[in-house]
Amino acid sequence: MIPVEHYVALSALLFTIGGVGFLVRRNVIVALMSIEVMLNAVNVALVAFNRLPTHNNAHTGQVFSFFIIAVAAASVAVGLAIVLSLFRIRRTVRSDEADLLKN
């Protein structure tokens, strides 16, 4: 059995990679993918902590993870719709040029 610390370390690594990808890249699609990686890191941590022996047959981690996946799928659909709209208007998906609300 793999210890929980390994899962937490994997989760921290994934969250760090997602955070760096979100902060460094200027492409909106890459930013959305980085947010998805961060959400998956949270899912790994929730399921790992749920496997602890102190949580006897409690499935709260899996339930929270399921809801996070559902919210992430909805946010990706909305985010991709915004990206497609931005691409139709500006012909680019760079976040620097997403200044449609400026006068």
Angle between helix 4-24 and helix 28-50 axes, rounded to 10 deg: 170
For residue 7, give the amino acid letter: Y
Burial of residue 31, with CB atoms counted within 10 A of its CB: 0-12 exposed, 13-18 middle, 19 or more buried = buried
CATH of domain 4-92: 1.10.287.3510
Domain positions in the chain: 4-92
pLDDT in tens, 88-99: 888 888 877 777
Q: Which residues contact 22 (CB under 8 A, 6 or more apart)?
A: 31, 34, 35, 38
Question: What number of other Cβ atoms are within 10 A of residue 43's Cβ?
Answer: 20
- Is the pLDDT at 71 greater than 90? The verdict is yes
pLDDT in tens, 21-69: 999 988 888 999 999 999 999 999 999 988 887 777 788 888 999 999 9
What pLDDT band is residue 73 in, cutting at 50, 70 and 90?
Answer: very high
Q: What is the pLDDT of residue 100?
A: 64
